[in-house]
Amino acid sequence: MLFSNISEEEFEFVREFELKGTIYKEVRIKNRGCRCECGTFHTNVKEYKKKKILHSIYAHKKCVLIYHHRRFICPNCKATHMDINPFISHEEKVSDQTICNVLDDLKKYNETFTKVAERYHLTTRGIMKLFDRYCQMERLPLPKVLCIDEIYFSRKRRKKYVLVLLNFHNRVIIDILKDRDKHTLSSYFYRVPRKERDKVDYVSIDMTDNYRDILHTFLPQATIIADSFHVMKHLVDALDDVRLRTLRRFNENKKSDEYYLLKYRNELLYATDVDYTPKMNKHFRRYLSQDQLLSMMVSLDKELYDAYILYHMYHRFNQTEFLDLKDAENQLLEIINRFTISGISEFQALASTLFNWKTEIVNSFSIYKDRRVSNGPIEGRNSLIKKILRLANGYSNFKRFRNRVIYCLNRYSTHSFKRE
């Protein structure tokens, strides 16, 4: 069948030929007559006009329909009327079926406008125009638990980051904002009805003061949560800075045991479970376990050893399930005190950050539907957004990027194209 919406019985004739690598299908629909505005029903034909329509029948070759478009003339009032064109609508030059196929293909996040254009023998600009016309995604209502996170968009823009809003429960993208500025965030939430904003119970963010200030203003009923993944990233960075400072002492001899441990086995510093089974180590030329390598590494410098202990102290705290958030607060204050008196500049600076965000960090142990609230779901979505950006070699049009991400990654997002 040539068309999913037209039965074979409707065709009066079909003729096919190939010219310069393009398949042409010449078609005419049976004359079913028409009713004139004067009320006369007739089948009188004045002329046929040939219209060329690009249509996706074959994947390997370009196909063009030559449709004999019938013009009627009323025998009573002499008025002329064009017959209905069953292949195209909305004044397009490609068939409705081709448009549907294009939009369905663009639903896949790993497809690009260029690849789809080549598949359907259209221009990339033409594919973009179809997408822009039929894939305008609306903002979704704010959820009970909202995740907010930034993602790098383009080095060519003055404001290089965009902001993603996501439903923690079902990982549906609520919206994407053009930047992370305070004014942008304020304007966005100001336009959201107060009744909708008051339904938000939790908001998970990274430790950015702008976000916290705006959310306290516009989502006063919500509990603000400092995402545990971002807090742990600060811990990793602090420990890594201490490691690098220790490593620089051994830069002159890059074949030394110290340099090898700090440079190539540094992952052991962050591991929560090391292997005690001895294995042949090519550098030391003897059997050593991961635990032995770790012990050798932290013994190189007292500050590195202290930083390692502080890192894992917080990591154990972060993995604890607290029935009473007051217990979490007490343990956090004890950790902050240990960081402060450690004498390690990176951890002393981090102690100040943790104290500034202690309420939000304690709130991060809140449970929603048997799950600890965090930005974990949004991190998964961000990885797919980065793939969309990478496959397209970036986007210069933010609005098109926003619509593409929401259209691709939200399962039930659909295009607006309808056959008339």
pLDDT per residue as tens digits for the range 157-192: 888 999 999 999 999 999 999 999 999 999 999 999
Would you say residue 5 has pLDDT above 80? Answer: no
Tokens of 179: 């930047």
- Please list, in sequence order, all residues whose beta carbon lies within 8 angstroms of the beta carbon of residue 80, skipping any fewer than 6 positions away: 46, 71, 72, 73, 74
Domain boundaries, the chain: 1-87, 145-226+376-409, 229-363
Specify the 3-state DSSP secondary structure of 2: coil
pLDDT per residue as tens digits for the range 393-407: 999 999 999 999 999
Q: What confidence score (pLDDT) does residue 90 get?
A: 59
pLDDT per residue as tens digits for the range 319-329: 999 989 999 99
Q: What confidence score (pLDDT) does residue 6 get?
A: 66
β strands within 77-184, DSSP E = 80-82, 145-152, 161-167, 173-177
Q: Please state the rounded mean pLDDT for residues 98-125.
A: 90
Would you say residue 301 has pLDDT above 90? Answer: yes
Would you say residue 214 has pLDDT above 70? Answer: yes
- Residue 91: pLDDT band by 50, 70, 90 thresholds? low
Judge contact between 361 and 224, C-beta under 8 A.
no
d(CA 184, CA 101): 36
Q: What confidence score (pLDDT) does residue 1 get?
A: 46
277 class by beta-carbon count within 10 Å (0-12 exposed, 13-18 middle, 19+ buried)? exposed
DSSP class per residue in 49-91: EEEEEE--S-SSSEEEEEEEEEEEE-TTT--EEEPP-SS--TT
Tokens of 200: 């938000």
Q: What confidence score (pLDDT) does residue 374 get?
A: 93
Which amino acid is residue 7, in one-letter code? S
- Residue 64: pLDDT band by 50, 70, 90 thresholds? confident
d(CA 385, CA 164): 10
Of 3.50.30.40, 3.30.420.10, 2.60.40.3470, 3.30.1130.10, the CATH number of 145-226+376-409 is 3.30.420.10
Closest CA to 176 of 411, 418, 407, 417: 407
Q: Is the pTM of this model over 0.85?
A: no
What are 340-349's contacts with CB under 8 Å, separation 24+?
342/306, 342/307, 342/310, 343/303, 343/306, 344/238, 344/242, 344/303, 344/306, 344/307, 344/310, 346/237, 346/238, 346/239, 346/241, 346/242, 346/307, 347/238, 347/307, 347/310, 349/238
Q: 62-73 and 22-29: which strand pairing?
A: parallel
pLDDT per residue as tens digits for the range 342-369: 999 999 999 999 999 999 999 999 999 8
Would you say residue 414 has pLDDT above 90? Answer: yes
Distances (CA, A) of 60 to 23, 25, 54: 10, 16, 14
- Residue 58: pLDDT band by 50, 70, 90 thresholds? low
Q: Measured in whole angstroms, how far is the alpha carbon of residue 317 from the centre of its chain? A: 31
